């Protein structure tokens, strides 16, 4: 999309002025947004736009500032939840078991979970009404990484850590951890940190069982650029502007690189 596609002076032109959209998105005041545009720091659909009267369509055009994606379409919500154990990753459990609806009541939008964590696994879940972003984050071909901390039975050796990163064979095919490290080994248990981009069902539990160290407790600490931090179990919060920018930047980058296959679940 070239700069010639953006009318600059006609007050009746279709779309909304770019500096107004940036200000409404919380990037900066309208005056500062104009300076960002003039300095060539703003792109629309990958094209630098410096014309002050440029107009865009927030519902369809992709905007970034200094390479960081900006959500300019109104009505999008992004929430981070620290899912506790005993809660099922669905918005309505048909059997009446604890589900995710209790964590979305304060937001008026209809939110959905991105991927899943099984009931025995706690940690970071993303809730959103942005279907395109949810598709990219949950789709295994996009390779979005997730970081887990597993408390496992037995004392994990350096050889076992190496085995996880070299790859192991499961009943549904080989699997390789992107990263693995031993955090602690004391008594009869060990703490292992695993980084994976696989979306296969209960993959962490199956990997650790295969190497002889069944999982006792499992928590997801990171999903893409989002970190659980100090968010207490059972609490949810909106992502910050910085987190949202990182999330959208990742999603747009991966969407441009990966193929469009059908998504799979990522229950752990």
Please write the tens of the pLDDT for every residue from 149-186.
999 999 999 999 999 999 999 999 999 999 999 999 99
Dist. CA 73–CA 131, nearest whole Å: 13
Per-residue pLDDT at 138: 83
Per-residue pLDDT at 258: 56
Per-residue pLDDT at 13: 59
Section 214-227 average pLDDT: 96
Burial class (CB in 10 A: 0-12, 13-18, 19+), 126: buried
Q: Quick: pLDDT tens for 101-148.
A: 999 999 999 999 998 999 999 999 999 999 888 888 887 777 789 999
Select the more confidently predicted residue: 110 or 11: 110
> Of 5, 66, 99, 118, which residue is the catalytic one?
118
Nearest Cα to 264, choosing from 123, 125, 114, 150?
A: 114
184 is catalytic: no
- How, if at all, do strands 215-223 and 121-128 pair? parallel
């Amino acid at each position: 999309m070239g700069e010639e596609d953006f009318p600059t002076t006609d007050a009746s032109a279709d779309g909304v002025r770019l500096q107004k959209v940036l200000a409404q998105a919380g990037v900066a005041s309208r005056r500062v947004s104009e300076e960002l545009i003039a300095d060539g720091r703003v792109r629309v659909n990958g094209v630098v736009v410096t014309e002050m009267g440029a107009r865009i369509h927030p519902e369809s055009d992709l905007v970034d500032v200094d390479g960081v994606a900006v959500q300019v379409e109104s009505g999008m919500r992004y929430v981070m939840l620290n899912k506790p154990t005993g809660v099922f990753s669905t918005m309505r459990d048909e059997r009446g078991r604890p589900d995710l609806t209790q964590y979305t009541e304060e937001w008026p939008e209809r939110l959905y979970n991105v991927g899943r964590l099984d009931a025995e696994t706690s940690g970071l879940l993303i809730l959103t009404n942005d279907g395109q972003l949810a598709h990219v984050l949950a789709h295994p071909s996009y390779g979005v990484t997730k970081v887990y901390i597993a408390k496992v039975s037995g004392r994990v050796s350096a050889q076992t850590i190496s085995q996880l990163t070299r790859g192991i064979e499961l009943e549904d095919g080989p699997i390789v951890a992107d990263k693995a490290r031993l955090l602690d080994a004391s008594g009869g248990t060990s703490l292992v940190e695993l980084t994976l981009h696989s979306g296969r069902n209960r993959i962490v539990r199956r990997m650790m069982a295969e190497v002889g160290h069944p999982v006792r407790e499992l928590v997801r600490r990171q999903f893409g650029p989002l970190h659980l931090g100090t968010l207490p179990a059972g609490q949810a919060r909106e992502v910050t502007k910085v987190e949202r920018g990182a999330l959208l930047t990742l999603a747009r980058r991966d969407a441009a690189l990966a193929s469009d296959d059908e998504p799979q679940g990522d229950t752990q």
